[in-house]
Structure 1
Amino acid sequence: MKNLLLGLCAIPLLLSGCGGSGSGEPGSFVQPNYNQDSGKVVGTYYTSWTAYEGDYTPADIPGGDLTHIFYAFLSPCGGPKPESEMNASDLRLKRVCEGKEVGEAVFADPYTAFGFIKNNGSNYIGDIAELALLKQQFPHLKIIPSFGGWTLSGPFHDLIKTDAGINKFVESSIQILEDNPVFDGIDIDWEFPGGDGETTPDNDPNLALTPAEKEFEKQQFTVLMQRFRAALDELGSKNNRHYELSAAINGFEHFSQYIDYENVTQYLDFFLVMTYDFFVVGRNDIGHFANLFAVEPFPQSGADIMMNYLMSRGVPSEKLIIGVNNEGRGWEGVPQLGDTGQVDFGPNKATGAMEHAFPTYREIAEKYLTNPGFIYNYDEAAEAPYLYNPTTKQYISYDDPRSVSAKSKYVVDNNLGGLFSWDISSDNYGLLNAANSSIGNSLIGSVE
C-alpha cells in the first residue's frame, strides 16, 4: 500500500483547502445497493490523508456495500537511527513518537484521526468520529486499523528485535482498541518481513538485511502474530466480541517468502494479498498491472499464481482475500503491435512514466475512457484491461468493472474469503458495484 503520511497538509491550521466535507449526519450517508449476504469479504482501505487531499471523508464511504474498512495508517514507533536513513514519513513519525518507546502504537496522523479546525473556520470532527457514525448507520461493518504501509514499515524491523518491543506494540495496540471501540481488530501491513521494501531495499548495501536477519524476521513475524492473537482473544472474552487479525502481503512470492505460512496462518483471520503492482512506475518493463492470470512474457505475474502458491503453503482458501487497485499506472514511450492499440509487452518497453502516472479509476473513467485518442483493450487471457494512445505512445494499466467481476467470480469459484480494494476514495463505485454483483451479494435496488 501507499503511504503519504501527513502529505502537504501536515500543519492543517495553517493551510487552506484541507479537510473533507462529510457532515457526519446519519441521513447524509450513501445508501447501499447490495445486501452483504454472500458470506464473502468486500473490503476496502480508507487512507488518513484523504481528508487533506480532497473533499472526501468517511461520511462519504458507501459503508452498506462493504463488510470491512481498513483504516490506514497507524504505526509502531521505531528505534533511533540517523536521519540520513529516514524517509520523509519516518521524519514526520519521529515527531509523533517523541518520548515514546520502541514499538509503541500511534496514529500516524492524529490530525485527521481526531479532528482539526480548517482554515475556513469550520470543524472537522475527525476520521474516528465519522467512522463511528458510519458504523452506527451500518452495524455489520467492521472497521480495522492498519499498521504500517510502504513508507512506515521501518519500525517493524526495530521492534521485533526484542520481546520488550513486541510486547509494547501488542499492548499499546490493544489499548488503542479499548480507547476506540469503533475498531474491530488489527491489520498488519508490514512491507516486508525479511526486508526488500522501501525501508530495507536489497539493492542498498547500507540498508539491506543479511540472510540471518531475514530468517530472524521470518520467525519473529510468527511470534508477533501469535501474541496479537492471544491479546485479541483476551480482549474479545472481556468484551464478548471477536477481534479480527489480518496481514497485508505482497502479490509476488519473492516479497512474501519470509513468512512462515505453515505456522502463522493459525493466528490470522485473513491474508490481504496485494495482487497488483505487478509492474510499477519506475521500472520500464511493460505488462499488466493487476491481472488475474499470468500471461507471456511474464509467466509469474498474476494473482492466480500467488493464490496457488499460498494454498500450496497450507493457507486455507477461505483466509485469502484477493486485491483490487482503484488506481491505475501509466507509462509513455510504449510500442504497439498492429493498428488496434495492442501493446508490445516485455522488458524495457517503456521510456518512462506518464506525467500523471497514478490516475484513479474516477479519473480514468472521466478523462481517459472519454478521450478518443485512447483505445480500450481487454486481455481475456489475463482478465485485464488497458488503454493505449498510439499517437502519444501512452499506456495505462488498471482494474475495471470487467476485471473486478472476473476476480470476484474467481473468489467464488475457488472458495476464497473475499476481495478488498486500495483505496475507496479512488473509485466511482463502478468497481465496488461490480465486486458486489459478481461475488454473489443480492441487489437492493437498481444500480446505474
Structure 2
Amino acid sequence: MNRRRVSLAAAGTAVLLVAGVVAAGTTSANAAGTVTASFSTNSWGTGQTATYTITNGTSSAITSWTVEFDLPSGTTLGSYWDALMSQSGNHVVARNRDYNGSVAAGGTTSFGFNTTGAGTPANCTVNGAPCGGGSAPPPTTAPPTTQPPSPTPTPTTTTPPAPPPSGSKVVGYFTEWGVYGRNYHVKNIHTSGSAAKLTHIVYAFGNTTGGRCSIGDSYADYDKAYSAADSVDGVADTWDAGALRGNFGQLRRLKKMYPNLKVVWSFGGWTWSAGFTQAAANPAAFADSCYSLVEDPRWADVFDGIDIDWEYPNACGLQCDTSGPNAFKNVISALRSRFGSSALVTAAITADGSNGGKIDATDYAGAATSLNWLMPMTYDYFGAFNAQGPTAPHSPLYSYSGIPQQGFYADAAIGKLKSKGVPASKLLLGIGFYGRGWTGVTQEAPGGTATGAAPGTYEAGIEDYKVLKNSCPANRTIAGTAYALCGNNWWSYDTPATIAGKMSYARSQGLGGAFFWELSGDTANGELIGAMR
C-alpha cells in the first residue's frame, strides 16, 4: 500500500549503530586545488556497500573522471551504480556515466558498489593522481572523454540527462507531508542527485472526498514560503499577488532545472481512497473535477498528468468497495477522455497475486488501454500489522519455502497481470525505500515469532533505508530481498544489491521500468535511486 503518514514530527531520534561504518582515504573538500576521491563503506564482515565521493578542489569544472584502485585479496566487485566499472584481478577501474561526469569547481559527485569480502581499497587514483590529493597528470595522460563538456552548474540551471529509452522509467513518490517532521523538501531531490536520475515524480496525495478530486494540504501544496536557503534554486518565495509557493512552486522550479523531468499528481492512497466509490458512480463528473484541479491556471504547468491510487477497487483496503469489476476501468476511461491523449494518466494498483485476490477482482487489463503505465505495489506484503509474525520479508521478488501467503510476491503479481493481458511494457516494478520489522524475535531466518512492531523513527514497524543501513545492516537475502536480525529486532528491506537484482528482473520481463516509495527514505546522496538508475 502507499501510506499517508500523518505524524508531523518525529516521535524521537533513532539511535544509529554505526560501529560497522568505516571511512578510509578521507580528504578535504577542497584539497590544495586538486581533484580528490574519498572512500566510505558500510561493512558487515563478509561483504560491504561502498561509496567513493569525488571532490573537485580546482578552480575550474571537470568534464570526466576515472577512479582506479586495488581491492584486498579475495574481495570481488559485485553490483555498482553511478559509474561504469570493471575488475581485472584485484584492480578496479570506475569511469563516470554520461550524467555525472561534469563536476563544478568545489562540487562533488559519487558512485557506489557492493563487494563480496570487505576491506579498504589500496593504491587509489583519480584521473591518474593520488586520491588523497597530489599533482595532476599531464594533459596527455588524462583519461579519455566520451561525452561533450557540460556547462558549470548554477543554482538556476542544471544540465539534464537525455530522456530515457523506453523501458527505463524511474518513477519516485514525493509526499506532501514530508516537509513537516521529515524535513524533506523539493530541494533535497536536487541536492541528493536524485533529480538527474528520475524520469517522473508522483506527488502524493490529493483527496477524493465526495467522489471529487480535492486539495490534500493547501499549506504544503501551494502556500508554504521558502527562504532562499531552503529553495531548490536559491531564490526566496515572495508574497506578490499570483506567486506560487509551497511544494507546487518548488516543483515548478525543479522542472525548469531538469526540463526532461515530468510530474504527475496522485489522488487517493491508503487513507484517501474512500471517495473513489462515489467517483465510480459518476466517472465523468469525477474526471471533470480532477481536470479542473490539476489544470488550475495557478499550477497547470507543474503537472503533466494524473495518477490514481485506489486502494482497492471492488475489494477491501482501509474500507471496502463493491463497485464491481468494471468500476476502475470506467473511472480511468473517463479520466483519459477528459485529460486527452497527450497527458499522462497512470495508476498505482494492488500487487496481490494470490488466487482469487485483489488483482482478480478488477479488470486491470481493460483499464490498461487508457493508462500510460500501471504500478503494482510490490511491497508491504508482510509486516508487523501481524504483530506476532511470522517474520517475512515485506518485498519478496520470488516465492520461498515457508512464505506465509501464496501469491504474495512480486513475480506472482507481474505474472498474473501479464496473463490477464496487461502489456509488460506498461508495468513498473515497485520498490520500497524503507523496511518493515518486528521486535521480540529470536530466530534469524524468516518464519520466527515476534511480540510486536520494532521501534521506528516515525511509525512502529517501519524505518527508512537511510537509518537501517547503519542501525541494522542487512547480512542475509531471501527471495531477492534482504533481511537481518539485530538484537531482538528483525528487519527486511531492499539494498543497492537487491535493487540491482530487481532491476535485472524488470529488464528480463520487458517491464517499463520501476517506481519507488518514497524519496525521503533514501540516503542524502541517493544510494538506492542510484542503484535503480
More displaced 10-residue stretch of structure 1: 43-52 or 109-118: 109-118
Matches within 5 A, 1:38-187: 38-39=165-166, 40-61=168-189, 62-78=194-210, 103-116=211-224, 125-161=245-281, 163=282, 166-179=283-296, 180-187=300-307
Q: 2:391 maps to what in 1?
A: 286
- Tell me which residue corresponds to 1:426: 521
Q: In the alignment, is the contact (CA less than 8 A) between 2:8 and 2:177 conserved in 1?
A: no
Q: CA deviation at 1:116?
A: 2.6
Alpha-carbon distance in 2 for matches of 1:66, 1:315: 24
- Tell me whether 1:417 sits opposite 2:483 in the alignment: no
Residue 8 of structure 1: how far off its partner (Å): 3.3
The match for 1:306 is: 413
Q: 2:477 aligns with which of 371, 378, 381?
A: 378
Alpha-carbon distance in 2 for matches of 1:29, 1:411: 35
Q: What are the Cα deviations for residues 222-280 of structure 1, in whole angstroms up to 9, with x where unaligned?
A: 111111111121xx5xxxxx211111112113233322133222111111110011102
Aligned partners of 1:68 and 1:34: how far apart in 2?
13
Residue by residue, what CA displacement relative to the aligned partner does 1:58-84 show, whole Å, maximum 9, x if unpaired? 122122110010000002222xxxxxx
Distance in 2, matches of 1:27 and 1:351, equals 52
Percent identity, aligned pairs only? 30
Residue aligned with 1:314, SS: coil
CA contact (8 A) 1:151 1:199 kept: no
Instruction: Kindly indicate which of the two structures has a greater share of residues assigned to helix.
Output: 1
The 2-side partners of 1:126 and 1:262 are apart by 37
Structure 2, gaps ≥5 residues long: 10-152, 231-235, 238-244
Matching residue within 322, 335, 351 for 1:228: 335
Q: Distance in 1 between matches of 2:421 and 2:161?
A: 33
1:355 matched to 2:487: no
Shift of 1:32: 8.2
Check whether the contact 1:334–1:343 (CA below 8 A) recurs between aligned residues: no
Q: Distance in 2 between matches of 1:430 and 1:38?
A: 22
Question: How far apart are the structure 2 equivalents of 1:398 and 1:278?
Answer: 12
- Code of the residue aligned with 2:288 in structure 1: it is E
Change (3 A) 1:311 1:32: farther
Q: 1:333 to 1:302 in 2, by over 3 A?
A: same
Partner of 1:89 in structure 2? none
Distance 1:291 1:170 in 2: 35
Which structure carries more relative contact order (alpha carbon 8 Å, separation 6+)?
1
**Where does residue 258 of structure 1 map in the other structure?**
361
Residues 1:345 and 2:346 aligned together: no
Q: Report the CA distance between 1:317 and its aligned residue.
A: 0.3
Q: Partners of 1:30 and 1:410 in 2: how far apart?
A: 35
- The whole-number CA distance in structure 2 between the counterparts of 1:44 and 1:221 is 23
Q: Name whichever of 268-277 and 173-182 sits farther off.
A: 173-182
* Structure with max Cα Rg: 2
- Specify the SS of the correspondent of 2:221: helix
Name whichever structure is richer in strand by fraction: 2
Classify 1:30/1:364 alpha carbon distance in 2 versus 1 (closer, same or farther; 3 Å). Answer: farther
The structural deviation recorded for 1:30 is 11
Which amino acid in the other structure matches residue 503 of structure 2? S
CA contact (8 A) 1:36 1:66 kept: no
Distance 1:64 1:296, change over 3 A: same
Q: Which runs of 4+ in 1 moved over 4 A?
A: 28-36
CA distance in 1, matches of 2:529, 2:180: 23
For structure 1, the 5+ residue unaligned runs are: 10-25, 79-102, 201-208, 237-241, 337-341, 370-374, 437-448
What's the CA shift for 1:323? 0.3
